[in-house]
Amino acid sequence: MTDTTPVQESAADAVQTVIAHADSETEPLNLGLLTDEEVYLYADDVAAAGPYGTWFAALPEEQRQAAALAAVRVLTSRGEIDSVLSDDGAADVRLPTQLTAAVVLRRLEAQLSLRVIGALGETWYVLRHVRGELYLREGISPQGYHALSLVRLDDAERELFLERFQLPEGAESVEPLDLDITLTETQLEAASIEITQQLRFLDDTAYIGNLATTAADGTIETSMVHVLSDARIVVGDLAAGRVHYRGITPATLRERWDAWRQAQSGRVSADADSGLNAHPELLTTPVVAGDDAS
């Protein structure tokens, strides 16, 4: 992190500064890079601070605390974050403007999250509504790096969403699998011969994505996206104790993005019930211990 922006005195100042900057730009605004250790340390609720990279997620709580404190000590000693000792010897740690804003905006609810376990390991792609057309995009690597940017839901972002599925070469041209079946949990547990034959694609799954999106009514829609070794794709939509499996193409994933984006536009038009406007308290919540964000 090489941001040399002056440290903000409040979370509200930092957030308003980056929103104003992003509103004046047409391209995504990079807010910086955080590690798992920093995400954990700056969280107002460590239980909800994830997701994390593979290594940090596997650590017990005590080791997470130790790793986080060690990381921030290194960053402070290098001058990458600011630390001021008070009269009683306590450290008042403050972050640069863009990272302060990133930490605050991460506390908003995810409107779309995609977890892929594939060739690159476990990766995450998360979008949170901020205000108006702006969303916080968070990409998480298996090594635990969190890349944070303010973006809009344009066609370029849709293509980035599709890239996150790590579809193999040829996926655009392959014919979809001839499959359309709805199974209850009871049927899946019974695993009859007929059902087992219909689910043979599971043995050919090269990697899988878990997609969760917020619908127009605020409910969460969940799907499993199986990428097969021959580049074909099967989606399993979960609802009401049932799974609907069907063969799809990358075009179907684009259509799903478009439908979600349309649902978001309906929710965002009200704006008072979404993003920062629905959670003004985030602007007065301390970002790190010792930070007076009021």
Helix ranges, the chain (H): 11-23, 36-42, 54-57, 61-77, 97-105, 155-163, 185-190, 193-198, 250-270, 275-278
0.85 surpassed by pTM: yes
Q: What pLDDT, in 10s, does the model give residues 60-73?
A: 999 999 998 888 78
Q: What pLDDT, in 10s, does the model give residues 178-227?
A: 999 999 988 887 766 677 888 889 999 999 999 999 987 888 999 999 99
Percent of the chain with pLDDT over 90: 58
Query: How many Cβ atoms from other residues are within 10 Å of residue 259's Cβ?
Result: 14
- Is residue 87's pLDDT more than 90? no
Q: What pLDDT, in 10s, does the model give residues 112-137?
A: 999 999 888 999 999 999 999 999 99
Give residue 110's pLDDT band: very low, low, confident or very high (50, 70, 90).
Answer: very high
Q: Could you give the CA distance from residue 213 to residue 37 in angstroms, rounded to a whole number?
A: 27
Among 181, 222, 7, which Cα is nearest to 94's? 7
- Give the phi and the psi of residue 186 in degrees, each rounded to 5: -65, -45
pLDDT of residue 1: 35
Q: What pLDDT, in 10s, does the model give residues 4-44?
A: 344 445 888 999 999 999 999 999 999 999 999 999 988 87
